[in-house]
Structure 1
Amino acid sequence: MGRLGELDLPDRLAPWVPRWATSVAVGLLATACAALVRFLLDTLVPGAAVFPLLFPAAMIATLFARWLAGATASTVSILFGWYYLYPVKNSFHFETSAQAVTVGSVIIAAAITVALAEMFRRSVHRATQERDRQIAERELFLEEFDHRVKNNFTLVAALLDMQRRRAGEGETADALTSALARVESIARAHRHLYRGAATPGTVDMASYLHELCTALADALFLRGAITIECGSDHAAIPRDRAVSIGLVVNELVTNAAKHAFKGREGGTISVRFAAHPPGWRLIVADNGMGMSAETRATGRPGGLGQRLIDGFVRQARGTMLVESGSDGTVVTVDLAA
C-alpha cells in the first residue's frame, strides 16, 4: 500500500497532461473496471451487489491519482448504479424512504473512503519526501567524509614518500616503500567503496584488483621484462575484507618482484581472483626461481612480510597454501563465503 501512495500519476504526467485531466481519466478508468466486474457478476447473480465495487475503485483511484480521481469514480459509479440498477431502473426515483437512506449511506461511505485514501496518500507522500531529504543529507555527509578520508590518505602517503626519498637507498627506504604501498592499497579500496559496487559497503573486486595491479606495476617499475597479469571475477566483498585481500596481493606481488627473478631478465607475476565454492579463491603465482624449503617454512630474513601476510589472510577469513619449485611459486588463498 505504501508503494501505491508513492505513485502520483498526475505529477508523473504533469509535463504532458494537466493534473486534473489525469485524475479524471484515472477515475473513469477505475469506474470502467468496476463496471466490467459488476457486469460479470450480474450474469451470474442478476441484480446483486449494486454498489460495493465502487469502494475499492474509489480507493485505488485516489491512491494513484489523488482525491479528484476517487471522487470521479465514486460519483460516476453511484449515478450509474442509482439510475440503471437501484432502486428503480432507468430512473432516479425512490419507492420507499429506506431506499433513499440506502443511497445516501452509500454516498457518505464513498466520501469517507475517498477522504481516508487521500489522507493515507498524503501521509505517505510526506514520509517519502522526508525520507528523500534524509537520504540527500546522508549522501552529502558521506561525500564530505569521503573527501576528508581521501585527504588524510593523501597526506599520510605524501609524508611516507617524503621520508622514503630522504632515506635514499637501503633497508629504511625499502621499509618505507612497503609501508607506502600498504597505505595506497587501503586508500584504493576506500575509493572503490563508493563506486561500482552492487551493495552498499562493499568493493567490486574486479576493478579494485585491476587498479591495484596497475599501481603495483608502476610502483615496482615492472614495465618491460617483468609483467603483472591480473584477472578477477566481479564479486561484491565487504570493505574490510577487500582491504585485507588487497594487502595480501600487495605483499605477495612485492615479494615476488623483489626475490623471484634474481639473475633473470624477465618473468611474469599473475593474480587471479575467482569464485570457488563455497567462497572465493585468490592465486598469486610467478614463474621465477622458486623458494627454498627453509624460506617456505620460516619466511625470508626479518620475517615481517610473512607475518603480515599471515595476519592479512586471517583477517580475510582465508587459509593459505604455498607451492614452490624451480618453475616458480604459487600461493593459493581460499576464502570462506
Structure 2
Amino acid sequence: MSGPSELLPDGGDMAERLVLRELSHELGDELASVIKLVSVAASRCDSPEARASLASVRDRLRGHAQVHRSLQMMEYTTTIDLAAYLHHLCRSISRSRLERDGIALSLLLDPVRMSSERCRLLGMIVFELLADSARHVPHGGAGAIHLEMWPTDTSIACCVTDNGSSDEGAHLERGSAVVEALAASVRGTVDIRRGLDGTRVVVNIPRGADEMPVAGE
C-alpha cells in the first residue's frame, strides 16, 4: 500500500465525516479493550474447556475488529490493490462469522489498482453480500459462497454466488436495499437472481480512468 497522497475532498459533509471517523476510532478502541480483557481472562482460567471457549470468543472478536478496520472511513485517499484489500477483508469475515457456521468462502479476484475510498465502498458492498449469503446458506459444513471480481472495459464487476435457498425474507430485502444504495452512490448497477439452487448477485460500478488491472498478474 502506498503512502497518503491527499486528504479526502472538502465538502458539505466534512464535519459529518470527522464525527463518523472519530466514532469509528472509539469503537475500535473499545473492541481492543474487550479483546484484551478476554485474553487476560483466558490466561487466568484453570478450566481447559472454559479457556478454550474464551479463546474462541477472543478470536471471533479479533476477526470483527479486523473487519471494522477494513471498512472504517479513511483519513487520506491513496491507491491500493482492490484484490489484496478484498482478500484481507474476506479472511477477516470468514474468521469472525463464516467459519463458526461451517460456511466455505472461495475467492477469484483479478488485481486492480483503485483509490482506497472506492475500495472501501466495494468492501462495504461485499460485506453486505456475504452477510446476506451467510444468513440463508446451509450451515454445518454444507454452505458455500463464492466471490469473484474482475475488470471490464468500462466497469469493475463483483459477483457473489451461494448455494442457499431462495427464501424472500425481510433480511434479503434489507440487504438488497443496502447494496443497491451503495452501488447507486457511484452510478453502479445490481443484478440479483435467486433460484432453487442458490443466489447470484452481480454488482457493476463504472471504472475510473486511472483504475487499471495490475500488469503481469
Question: Which interval holds the TM-score relative to the shorter structure?
Answer: 0.5 to 0.7
1:249 to 112, 116, 126: 126
Q: Pick closer, same or farther for the CA change 1:312–1:162 going to 2, 3 Å.
A: farther
Map of 1:205 onto structure 2: 82
Structure with greater strand percent: 2
**What is the CA-CA distance between 1:310 and the residue it aligns to?**
2.0
Answer yes or no: is the 8 Å Cα contact 1:244–1:316 preserved in 2: no
Map of 1:215 onto structure 2: 92
Alpha-carbon distance in 2 for matches of 1:233, 1:221: 23
Aligned-residue CA RMSD (Å): 4.0
Answer yes or no: is the 8 Å Cα contact 1:244–1:315 preserved in 2: no
Alpha-carbon distance in 2 for matches of 1:180, 1:162: 11
Q: Pick closer, same or farther for the CA change 1:236–1:254 going to 2, 3 Å.
A: same
Q: Pick closer, same or farther for the CA change 1:236–1:311 going to 2, 3 Å.
A: same
Alpha-carbon distance in 1 for matches of 2:23, 2:161: 33
Q: Pick closer, same or farther for the CA change 1:334–1:301 going to 2, 3 Å.
A: closer
| Matched AA of 1:184 | R
Map of 2:69 onto structure 1: 184
SS of aligned partner of 2:167: coil
What aligned pairs does 1:280-319 form with structure 2 within 5 A after superposition? Answer: 280-292=156-168, 295=169, 299-300=170-171, 303=174, 305-319=175-189
1:230 to 103, 107, 114: 107
**What is the CA-CA distance between 1:180 and the residue it aligns to?**
6.6
SS of aligned partner of 1:222: helix
Whether 2:155 is the aligned partner of 1:279: answer: yes
Map of 1:329 onto structure 2: 199
Alpha-carbon distance in 1 for matches of 2:66, 2:129: 12
Alpha-carbon distance in 2 for matches of 1:203, 1:236: 6
Answer yes or no: is the 8 Å Cα contact 2:132–2:172 preserved in 1: no
Q: Pick closer, same or farther for the CA change 1:239–1:269 going to 2, 3 Å.
A: same
Alpha-carbon distance in 2 for matches of 1:214, 1:151: 26
Answer yes or no: is the 8 Å Cα contact 1:286–1:329 preserved in 2: yes
**What is the CA-CA distance between 1:325 and the residue it aligns to?**
0.7
Whether 2:30 is the aligned partner of 1:159: answer: yes
Alpha-carbon distance in 1 for matches of 2:177, 2:119: 19
Map of 1:240 onto structure 2: 117
| Matched AA of 1:336 | P
Gaps of 5+ in 2: 8-20, 35-63, 208-217
Answer yes or no: is the 8 Å Cα contact 1:181–1:250 preserved in 2: no
Percent identity over the alignment is 22
How many residues matched?
Answer: 167
Q: Pick closer, same or farther for the CA change 1:181–1:321 going to 2, 3 Å.
A: farther
**What is the CA-CA distance between 1:224 and the residue it aligns to?**
7.5
Alpha-carbon distance in 1 for matches of 2:22, 2:201: 34
* 1:100-128 Cα shifts (integer Å, max 9, x gaps): xxxxxxxxxxxxxxxxxxxxxxxxxxxxx
**What is the CA-CA distance between 1:219 and the residue it aligns to?**
0.8
2:144 to 252, 255, 268: 268
**What is the CA-CA distance between 1:312 and the residue it aligns to?**
1.4
What aligned pairs does 1:35-46 form with structure 2 within 5 A after superposition? Answer: none
Mark the structure with the bigger radius of gyration.
1
Answer yes or no: is the 8 Å Cα contact 1:270–1:284 preserved in 2: yes
Structure with greater helix percent: 1
Answer yes or no: is the 8 Å Cα contact 1:242–1:316 preserved in 2: no
Answer yes or no: is the 8 Å Cα contact 1:209–1:230 preserved in 2: no
Q: Pick closer, same or farther for the CA change 1:302–1:319 going to 2, 3 Å.
A: closer
Alpha-carbon distance in 2 for matches of 1:162, 1:221: 24
Alpha-carbon distance in 1 for matches of 2:96, 2:155: 31
Alpha-carbon distance in 2 for matches of 1:255, 1:301: 6
Answer yes or no: is the 8 Å Cα contact 1:182–1:247 preserved in 2: no
